[in-house]
Amino acid sequence: MRILYLISMVALSIGCFAGSVQKNDSNPKTKRKIGNSVYEGKQWVVLVTGSSGWENYRHQADICHAYQIVKANGIPEENIITMMVDDIAYNKKNPIKGKIYNKPYGHNVYKGVKIDYRANDVNSTNFLNIITGNKEAMQSVGSGKVVEGGPHDTIFVNFVTHGSTGFLSFPDSFLFADELNNAFNNMYTNGNFAKMLLYIEASYGGSLFDGILNERTNIMAVTASGPRENSYACYYVGFPYYTFLGDDFSVTWMENSDSMYGDFSAADITVFEDYSVVREAIDDSNVMIYGDYHIGNEPLSSFIGYQENDSQSTKAISKKTVMSGMSSKDVDEYSVLDQLTNDKLTAIKKSELETELSKNNRMRSIINNIFRDIYSKVLTATPEIKEIVGEYDAPHNQQLTLKMFPCYRSIINTISDSCFSLTQNPYTLDRLNVFANLCVADNQIHELVNNLVNESCANIPKNIINVF
Ligand SMILES: *[C@@H]1O[C@H](CO)[C@@H](O)[C@H](O)[C@H]1NC(C)=O
Ligand SMILES: *[C@@H]1O[C@H](CO)[C@@H](O)[C@H](O)[C@H]1NC(C)=O
Ligand SMILES: *[C@@H]1O[C@H](CO)[C@@H](O)[C@H](O)[C@H]1NC(C)=O
Ligand SMILES: *[C@@H]1O[C@H](CO)[C@@H](O)[C@H](O)[C@H]1NC(C)=O
């Protein structure tokens, strides 16, 4: 009863669109199949979300949904590794405790999810140890499970989080493109997999792979957005949730997959076919592919399994109304503004929200002034690089290279140590392109920049947090 009541209160304003893959009804049984796979090795699945907090509900919802899909598709539990902070199901803001939904009127996707690494264990060091199979490093952390892949195995990594130029966010650490790339190269050299597929939902997701991911190491990445774009959230639910339940890219590929559950032609749908449907269905951002395109001709079921069920008739795929999502950079502000429109709002709550908004605006301008200050001091010291870097408000589009990462990482770490957390202030993530450009222009520039960072941040308020 309570559930019905709550769900009926749901105000839906932003939706997702799920397209459909054209099915080919030729008999897939002619294909060599082993278990729920058309592939002979083991299938490993790594599901990760690097965000936390109620405002990022959607990321953990996406990952839980992915768990349901691979589990139902027959991937053995021991081959699924899940990393999520796990602060949503029992969050004090959750009106239905213990349940997480990835769409309005949907199923509880939290049900049965086995989480291997939660809370502080969700960090970049652990993630890299997990994918590279460093069992020793993980033996006393979480479940200790790692990818123990071999030369015939496939690995599917689904990573959903906030991102910025050249890195993905964990709650308190960063995963930089060069670190990820090193891990991939080691895994390839050590024969840890036959084929690897990455589905990445994060703003600037393309910047981790564009010009970086090797075309010949049997790894392909599909990203929700290009190198210089935000990704988009969807399924906003107002009172009593005031948060987004999903993300465009994740929800689209997963609802597609759900719609084919039990239909055995799903076994043959290739990664490219899935990609083209998802790309077409999403018009807010550009869904991109990088790396080794040979992987595109593999059946997606080699990575995520599939469910064969002869008795089930092919379901008609219902096309939803096309609605646009919301840029991840606007999500938090939208939620606060929406709460303010609730006419049952108490005066106290209203004034809290207004205070939050005005504080947020103040903090935004502090952050912006600091970045602007650092930028102009660096450019005063080295005016010749302006041509490469561009204006603070209009940085040039530079291709990241592996060579620039030590410099960039050093600057990012210094800003985090001396100024404010970048991972805990989503507002900052859309403003780091210019620092990446500095390192593209001169990969030794970090010493100069770090000094100026420390100087500019010497007198700013302590504990700037959750600025959106
Ligand atoms: C269906 O698949 C078969 C075998 O893979 C192929 O020969 C045929 O052309 C496909 N048909 C369509 C409509 O894609
Ligand atoms: C990640 O967590 C582990 C414990 O789970 C800890 O030993 C390690 O230092 C952490 N790394 C980072 C980058 O926070
Ligand atoms: C196959 O589909 C039918 C009809 O939807 C269902 O009753 C049955 O439980 C399914 N079998 C499996 C093994 O999923
Ligand atoms: C900047 O300050 C941090 C401490 O906040 C310090 O660890 C670092 O060495 C300083 N960097 C430079 C270049 O002065």
Q: Is the pLDDT of residue 4 over 90?
A: no
Q: Is the pLDDT of residue 107 over 90?
A: yes
Residue 335 lies in a domain: no
CA-closest residue to ligand 3 atom 6:
312
CA-closest residue to ligand 1 atom 4:
26
Q: Is the pLDDT of residue 318 over 50?
A: no
CA-closest residue to ligand 1 atom 14:
24
Q: Is the pLDDT of residue 39 over 70?
A: no
The whole-number average pLDDT for the span 36-56 is 87
CA-closest residue to ligand 2 atom 11:
125
What pLDDT score was predicted for residue 287? 96
The lowest-confidence range among 60-64, 261-265, 307-311, 430-434 is 307-311
Give 121's contacts (C-beta < 8 A, 6+ positions apart). Answer: 83, 141, 142
| pLDDT tens digits, one per residue of 393-409 | 999 999 999 999 999 99
For residues 379 and 322, state if they share a domain.
no
CA-closest residue to ligand 4 atom 10:
454
- Confidence band, pLDDT 50/70/90 cuts, at residue 1: very low
192 lines ligand 2 (CB under 6 A): no
CA-closest residue to ligand 4 atom 3:
418
One DSSP character per residue, 192-242 reads --SEEEEEEESTTGGGGTTTTS-TTSSEEEEESS-TT---EEEEEETTTT-
The whole-number average pLDDT for the span 102-126 is 97
Answer whether 126's CB lies under 8 Å from 141's CB.
Answer: yes
- Confidence band, pLDDT 50/70/90 cuts, at residue 67: very high
To test the ligand 1 pocket, which listed residue (26, 31, 270) has its Cβ within 8 A of the most ligand atoms? 26
What pLDDT score was predicted for residue 79? 97
Distance (angstroms) between ligand 4 centre and the Cα of 139 equals 34
123 lines ligand 2 (CB under 6 A): yes
Residue 336 lies in a domain: no
| pLDDT tens digits, one per residue of 217-229 | 999 999 999 999 9
Bridge partners, residue 214, by sequence: none
Bridge partners, residue 160, by sequence: 49, 201
Instruction: Please state, in angstroms and rounded to a whole number, the distance separating the CA atoms of residues 467 and 356.
Output: 10
For residues 404 and 276, state if they share a domain.
no
What pLDDT score was predicted for residue 325? 87
Q: How many domains does the chain have?
A: 2
- Confidence band, pLDDT 50/70/90 cuts, at residue 320: very low
Distance (angstroms) between ligand 3 centre and the Cα of 258 equals 14
What pLDDT score was predicted for residue 283? 87
Residue 465 lies in a domain: no
CA-closest residue to ligand 1 atom 3:
26
Q: ∠ at Cα 185 (183, 191), nearest 5°?
A: 100
Phi-psi region of 327 (alpha: psi -120 to 50; beta: other; left: phi over 0): beta
Supply the mean pLDDT for the chain. Answer: 90
What pLDDT score was predicted for residue 324? 67
Which of 327, 361, 391 is at the close of a domain? 327
Write the CATH number for 391: 1.10.132
The whole-number average pLDDT for the span 288-300 is 96
> Which atom belonging to ligand 2 lies closest to the Cα atom of 124?
13
Q: Is the pLDDT of residue 21 over 60?
A: no
Residue 378 lies in a domain: yes
Write the CATH number for 234: 3.40.50.1460
For residues 115 and 251, state if they share a domain.
yes
Distance (angstroms) between ligand 1 centre and the Cα of 92 equals 52
For residues 197 and 297, state if they share a domain.
yes
Answer whether 197's CB lies under 8 Å from 271's CB.
Answer: yes
- Confidence band, pLDDT 50/70/90 cuts, at residue 340: very high
For residues 91 and 37, state if they share a domain.
yes
Q: What are phi and psi of 165, to 5 degrees?
A: -55, 115
CA-closest residue to ligand 4 atom 14:
451
Distance (angstroms) between ligand 4 centre and the Cα of 80 equals 40
For residues 283 and 391, state if they share a domain.
no
CA-closest residue to ligand 4 atom 12:
451
| pLDDT tens digits, one per residue of 170-216 | 999 999 999 999 999 999 999 999 999 999 999 999 999 999 999 99
Q: Is the pLDDT of residue 139 over 60?
A: yes
> Which atom belonging to ligand 1 lies closest to the Cα atom of 25?
1
125 lines ligand 2 (CB under 6 A): yes
262 lines ligand 3 (CB under 6 A): yes
What pLDDT score was predicted for residue 27? 38
DSSP-derived letter for residue 468 is -
Residue 252 lies in a domain: yes
Residue 376 lies in a domain: yes
Ligand in closest contact with the CA of 416? 4
To test the ligand 4 pocket, which listed residue (417, 445, 452, 453) has its Cβ within 8 A of the most ligand atoms? 417
The whole-number average pLDDT for the span 326-339 is 94
Q: Any residues with Cβ below 6 Å from ligand 1, and which?
A: 24, 26
For residues 164 and 102, state if they share a domain.
yes
The more confident residue out of 34 and 261 is 261
Give 101's contacts (C-beta < 8 A, 6+ positions apart). Answer: 61, 107, 108, 109, 245
For residues 150 and 122, state if they share a domain.
yes
pLDDT over 90 percentage in the chain: 82
Give 185's contacts (C-beta < 8 A, 6+ positions apart). Answer: 214, 217
Which of 265, 293, 327 is at the close of a domain? 327
The token pair that represents 125 in the structure block: 């060091």
What pLDDT score was predicted for residue 14? 59
Query: 240: cis peptide before it, omega within 30°?
Result: yes
Tell me the whole-structure pTM to 2 decimals.
0.89
> Which atom belonging to ligand 1 lies closest to the Cα atom of 24?
1
Q: Any residues with Cβ below 6 Å from ligand 4, and which?
A: 414, 417-418, 450-451, 454
**Exposure of 464 in the CB half-sphere (CA atoms within 13 A):** 30
The more confident residue out of 29 and 411 is 411
Ligand in closest contact with the CA of 73? 3
> Which atom belonging to ligand 1 lies closest to the Cα atom of 268?
5
Residue 340 lies in a domain: no
Distance (angstroms) between ligand 1 centre and the Cα of 104 equals 36
Q: Is the pLDDT of residue 8 over 90?
A: no
- Confidence band, pLDDT 50/70/90 cuts, at residue 319: very low
Ligand in closest contact with the CA of 126? 2
pLDDT over 70 percentage in the chain: 88
Bridge partners, residue 101, by sequence: 108
For residues 17 and 149, state if they share a domain.
yes
Query: Could you list the residue range(s) of the whole structural domain that residue 57 is in?
Result: 2-327
What pLDDT score was predicted for residue 323? 47
The more confident residue out of 11 and 341 is 341
Which residue reads 């910025």 in tokens? Answer: 164
The more confident residue out of 107 and 40 is 107
Bridge partners, residue 247, by sequence: 233
Ligand in closest contact with the CA of 454? 4
Distance (angstroms) between ligand 3 centre and the Cα of 4 equals 27
For residues 307 and 434, state if they share a domain.
no
The whole-number average pLDDT for the span 314-329 is 60
For residues 251 and 351, state if they share a domain.
no
Residue 90 lies in a domain: yes
Q: ∠ at Cα 346 (345, 352), nearest 5°?
A: 90
What pLDDT score was predicted for residue 134? 98
Which of 272, 293, 327 is at the close of a domain? 327
For residues 117 and 204, state if they share a domain.
yes
